[in-house]
Every structure is written in C-alpha cells, then in structure tokens.
A and B are shown apart, each in its own frame.
Chain A
Amino acid sequence: MSSSSRAQSPAKRLQSELKTYQSEPNDALVELGPVGDSELTHWTAVMKGVPGTAYEGGRWKLDIRIPPTYPNAPPDIKFVTRICHPNVNFKTGEICLDLLKTTWTPIYTLSTTLTAIHQLLTSAEPDSPLNVDIAQLFRQGDYVGAEALIRFYTETERWEGR
C-alpha cells in the first residue's frame, strides 16, 4: 500500500544528511558523500588521523553501503585503506563497533557514525579484537611496540587521493 512511498525513505533521509554535512562539515573527515550522483546508497568518506597519537597524519578511505532499511538498520562501513587497529580487520577493513551492530539507533547519521569510528581510533578495546597481532601487543603492555607498528602502517598505507 504505502511501500512505494516508503522505498524513497532512505533517499530522502540521505539527501537531508548530505545537505546537513555540507553546511556543518565534520572535523574528523576530509570528505563524505555519495560515490556518484546516480547511486545514493553507496557513499565514501576519507577520515583524518588524530593529532598527538600514533594515528597522527593518517588518511583512510572508507566504503559505506547503505541498506534499503536505513535508518532503521545501520550502514555497513568498512576501511578501504588498511589500518592497524585492534578492532579493525586488517585485511577486510571490517570494523568492530557496537554502534554498527547492536546499539545502532536511527538518530545517528552517517556523519555522526563516522565520528564514532574516529573516536574508536583512540579508544581501542583490545579484548574484542579483529586484529589479533596489534591487540596482543596492547594486552602485553608493549605500548612502544604497538605505537611503532601503528605509525608504520599509518604512514605506509596512507590514502593519497584517487
């Protein structure tokens, strides 16, 4: 009955989010927007590093897939640029963040979700790791080794634009 009007629901929401982002940019991001004009459910973002941490100076590209049930279901966000982080899978870029799974709430936007991912950079949880190598360094208290490893990948894997 109303399914046809509902199908546009993510599109309408995404357009309003895009407009909001353009008027109020996110400090954690270099860019955020749809990949192309035709495809509104596939976005991409480039995230900045966090000054004063091992992630300083980094640039990471993220791939954002938006399900048709958005905003009732969370977006699927992955790192395209490889990042060395206990809660991010080094190969696939999958992110372990409860916000992207169980505690997703429809009042989060793509921009605020990326802010949460940005905060994850400095508040890693090595006890639920997706990258066991770096998590093990954290858990053994080898912060010098961990920081060195993160700095190495932050520099060598840095996203340099398209």
Chain B
Amino acid sequence: MGSSTYIAEEELAHLQKLSGEYQPEVTGPLVGERQSSSAITTEYANADPVYRTKTAALPSKYSHYRTCRGDGHCGWRAIAFTYYEALLRLGDKNRFLEEETRLRSLHNLLNTIGFQEHLYEDFADECFELLRKTAASVPAADESAAASLLVSFNDEALSMAIITYFKLLTSAWIQTHANDFQPFLLDQDIREYCATQIEPSICEIDHVGMSALAEVLVKPAGFALEVLYLDRSPGEEINTYHFDPLGHDGLPIPNPPMLRLLYRPGHYDILYKMEDIHIPQAAPIHVALAGYADEFVPVGRGMSDVMTLIPGMYPTGLGQNWPAVSYDYQPTAIPQPQMAAVPTYAPVPVSTTQDYVSHVNPTIPVESPIGMSINSPMTIERGGPFRPSMYELEPGFHSGQSHSLPFQTSIFRNSHYNTAHFLNPDFQPEEWTPDSEYVTSNRSRNKSSSQ
C-alpha cells in the first residue's frame, strides 16, 4: 500500500508540474494597431446580455481601441504605452526631458528600498532611451512618430525592460508609502506583497499596483488615468474608475490628457476617444480632417456622409447641395441649443434585441462631429466656413434646383446669401409654386411649434 501511495503522489506531483508549467498560447502583437471600437461590440454580439448592453454603448463614446497581447503583462504594457503616447500627443520635446529628470529623481526611492543601482539602471536606460528617441521624433509627422513608438513597444526586450522599470518604481512607491497601501493589503506584509504581486516578471497588475503606478508615473506627469471595467455586474453602463492628477496647488488639473484603458476580467486594452486621436496643435484644419478621414473612417460606411457632417468640409462632389449641408450646422452655430440637444443618439438603444448593432453605427457620425466642433480649434462663425465660392455656385445650380431647395430658416432667408435676396450677386426672384409653398409653410409651422 505504501509504495502505491508513493507512485500516486509522484504522479500527482508530475501532473501538478505539468499544470504549473502550462502556458496558454498567446498570439497577436504586443501592442496592436488602433482600430474602430465597434469591433468590441461585434465581438460581444453573441455574448451575455449584460455584455451586449454595455458594449453597445461603447463605440459612441470611445471611437477607437488598441489591443494588447494577453501575455500577463498587458495592464503594465497598456499604461506604459499610453504614457509614452500621451507625451507624444502633447508634442512638446521639453516634456520628455522633464519626465526623464523626474524619473531619475525617483531613483532615490529605489535605492532606499534596497534595489541595487547596477541592476535597475539597465532597465531605466532603456526607458530613457525611448523617451529621447520619441522626443526626437516629435517634429516629424504624427503618423511616423506614432508608428515608430508602436514598433519600439513591439520589441519584446525593450517593452519588458520598461515594464520592469515601472514595476520597480511602483514597488518602491508602495513600500515608501506603506501607510497609504497597507489598509488594502489586509494582513499581508508589504514587502512580501511587492515581492510576489508587483516585482515578478510574470505578474499582472492588480488594483493596488495600478493605484501606485498612477501615483508614481501617471499623475505627476499631469495625466489622468481612466479605467473602464467591463464585467458582468448589473447595469447598463460600463463602470469607470478615474485617477485624476493634482496640480502643484493641490487642485485637480482641468482637462488633463487622458490615458484610457478597457479592463475585461484578466485583460487590459487601450481605448481612445475621438478627441484623443487628433493632434491638439494648431495644424491647418484641413490637414487634420483629411488625415482623419483617410485613416479612421470605419470601413463599410460611405465617406461622403461623414464628410458632410464635418463643419467646413464640402468636398467637390457635394458642391451642388452645399447650402443644405450648411443648414445642418446652423443649429450649432446660432443659439438654438434645443436643436443640438436632440440628436438621434440620445436614446442610446440599450435594448437587448439583436438589431442593436444597426442602432449603434449611426450614432458614431452624429456623435463625432459634435465632439469635434467643440474641441477643434476652429470655432464656427456665421458666414466663416460657409462662404460661398465660385465652385459651389455654378450657374446650373440655380436654374435647376433653387426652387426645390428647402430654405428653412428665417435667418438664411433674410440674408444676402439667399439668391432671392436683392443684395445677392446672383439675384433670382422667388417664383411662386403651389408645391413649394405647401412644403415651406408646413416646415415653418413645425419650426415655430418646436421653438
């Protein structure tokens, strides 16, 4: 009996060893390309209703996302990558140098904890080297700098070095601020916690680690961290957790650059809002919008309808009906807030019916131009971007279409942009037709009742 127990134990030990060494196959790039977040919605189309509801509302707020490989480092890597990316987005070379100096000053903490300088300096050097390299690429075009950062982060050794460095900083921060973190660790010894939950090279970030990393890396850089927890907890919205930076005066910094993560149990990905994608620098607006249109329009939607929603954009193909385009934007330009406040996306379809995808997609173009009109450096002035040019007002345009065009607003009607106005260079008196009279009066009645 004794010997058979031994064999069983040896077998068990063997099985234990096998299961301990089992590594699930992970594929994909360490950090992926940015893609439309409607892919997340599609991914959950057949999932649990709670997930469906929560992800259905996601693309209207977070337009894009980026995957991280689920190799056990994704949370650390996602924060590290977005940290570099946020610095790059600021587009200020000096910020990189400031950050390097600040991180170097934290080496005192590392030494206090007993990390040996000759061991961590290799990792720190990799981190600083990438900071300098990224800083050097700032003057270049945005796309190539971002692409080069992506390549760097897909270098396993380099990104591991940066992750290791950030882990050591986090560990040192936790140990030097034991009073802040001990309550969250119950009875666990803080040194032991760091040795088993923070420092090991294969060890995913937990909430305590993330708070500490936000304290040591993200907040002092003036960035805010936002984590969306997508889980099966009841509710229709994805739970969001914020780590907000404080300025030197101890007050929250208004509108800090955001690092956004999407957490699904056991995994982190990176999220973007539409406003994160644009460069806030005062680049010529046409360049920025063209870049947006070429690169980020989700496949499967015609480009034209997106373009029409961008104020000031009227591609030549749409020249014929540009006045109609400008009408769409009168509500945002002139004070008629109730018009802007009732876009079609307001009742976000949270129903669990199967056709919700078709509800979601139309929300994107409606949402995005509103966000852009608020955030883009160009403010819409009356007459500014809508000034007619010889290209839009072709002769054939009036003779063919002027009568059928629905001139709805009284402001346009009484302005000299109206061809029926006597100051208009292409003055053309309005002709009475029973049909248009009927349509116009009907519309004006609607309008007056809504006001």
Q: Which residue of B lies closest to A20 (CB)?
A: B118
CA distance A105 to B195 in the complex (A): 8
Within 8 A of A (CB), among B132-161: 151-152, 155-158, 160-161
Q: Please, how many angstroms separate the alpha-carbon atoms of A133 and B119 in the complex? A: 40
| B157: A residues at CB distance < 8 A | 3, 6, 9, 69, 72
CB of B20 closer than 8 Å to a CB of A: yes
Q: Which residue of A lies closest to B10 (CB)?
A: A132
A-B residue pair count with CB separations less than 8 angstroms: 63
Q: Report whether A106 and B13 are in contact in the complex, using a CB–CB cutoff of 8 Å.
A: no
Whether A1 and B151, one on each chain, are in contact in the complex, defined by CB atoms closer than 8 angstroms, is yes
Choose one: B158, B161, B168, B200; the contact of A102 (CB below 8 Å).
Answer: B200
What is the distance, in angstroms, from B167's C-beta to the closest C-beta of chain A?
8
Expressed in whole angstroms, the Cα–Cα distance for A126 and B27 within the complex equals: 38
- B367 near A: Cβ within 8 Å? no
A107 within 8 A of B: yes
Among the interface residues A2, A16, A132, A136, which one has the most CB atoms of the partner chain B within 10 A?
A2
Give CA–CA (A107, B124) in the complex, Å: 12
Other-chain contact of B164, A103, A106, A128 (Cβ < 8 Å): A106
| B115 in contact (CB, < 8 A) | yes
A69 to chain B, nearest CB (A): 7
Point out the residues of chain B lying under 8 angstroms from A3, CB to CB: 155, 157
Which A residue sits closest to B160, measured CB to CB?
A72
Q: Which one of A12, A107, A130, A132 contacts B115 once the chains associate, using CB atoms below 8 Å?
A: A107
Inter-subunit contact A1/B123 (CB<8 Å): no
Q: Mark B251-273, 1 if CB is under 8 A from A, else 0.
A: 00000000000000000000000
Are A72 and B164 touching (Cβ within 8 A)?
yes
A124-162 CB mask vs B (1 if < 8 Å, else 0) is 000011101100100000000000000000000000000
Residues of A within 8 A of B112 (CB): none
Within 8 Å of chain A (Cβ to Cβ): is B122? yes
Most buried by A among B123, B157, B158, B199: B157
Chain B: CB-nearest residue to A16 = B118
Give the docked Cα–Cα distance between A40 and B167 (Å). 28
Classify the interface of chain B: helix, strand, loop or mixed. Answer: helix
Contact B6 A9 (CB under 8 A): no
Contacts A103-B196, A105-B201, A132-B9 hold; do A2 and B155 have CB atoms under 8 A apart? yes
Interface residues of A in 104-125 (CB under 8 A from B): 104-107, 109
Given contacts A72-B160, A129-B13, contact A6 B155 (CB under 8 A): yes
Q: Which residues of A lie under 8 Å from residue B200 when comparing CB positions?
A: 102-105
- Whether the Cβ atoms of B122 and A9 lie closer than 8 Å is yes
CB neighbours (8 Å) of A13 from chain B are 122
- Asked whether, in the complex, the Cβ of B195 is within 8 Å of the Cβ of A103, the reply is yes
Q: Which of A69, A109, A136 contacts B6 (CB 8 A)?
A: A136
List of A residues within 8 angstroms of B168 by Cβ: 107
In the complex, which of the residues A103, A133, A136 has the most CB atoms of chain B within 10 Å of its own CB atom?
A: A103
CB distance from B193 to the nearest CB of A (A): 12
Minimal beta-carbon separation of B216 from chain A (angstroms): 17
Contacts of B195 in A (CB 8 A): 103, 105
Q: Are B116 and A101 in contact (CB under 8 A)?
A: no
Bound: A94/B123 CA distance, A = 30
A29 within 8 A of B: no
Contacts of B9 in A (CB 8 A): 129, 132
Task: Compute how far the CA of A3 lies from the CA of B156 in the bound complex, rounded to whole angstroms.
Answer: 9
A28 at the interface (CB under 8 A from B): no
Determine the distance from Cα of A131 to Cα of B4 in the docked complex, in whole angstroms.
16
Is A50 part of the contact surface with B, judged by Cβ < 8 Å?
no
CA A162 to CA B256, docked complex, whole Å: 65
Contacts of A103 in B (CB 8 A): 195-196, 200, 203
Q: Which of B6, B20, B199 contacts A105 (CB 8 A)?
A: B199
Complex alpha-carbon distance, A130 and B9, angstroms: 10
The verdict on B327 contacting chain A, using a C-beta distance below 8 Å, is no
**With A9-B157, A101-B20 as contacts: A106 and B123 at CB distance below 8 Å:** yes
Can you name 5 A-B pairs with beta carbons within 8 Å? A69-B156, A72-B157, A103-B203, A107-B116, A132-B9
In order of increasing CB-CB distance, the 8 nearest A-B pairs are: A105-B199, A6-B157, A103-B200, A72-B160, A106-B164, A107-B119, A105-B200, A72-B201
Interface residues, chain A, with chain B CB atoms under 8 Å away: 1-3, 6, 9, 12-13, 16, 20, 69, 72-73, 101-107, 109, 128-130, 132-133, 136
Other contacts beyond A6-B158, A107-B164, A132-B9: 6, CB < 8 A:
A1-B151, A16-B118, A69-B156, A72-B164, A102-B200, A136-B6
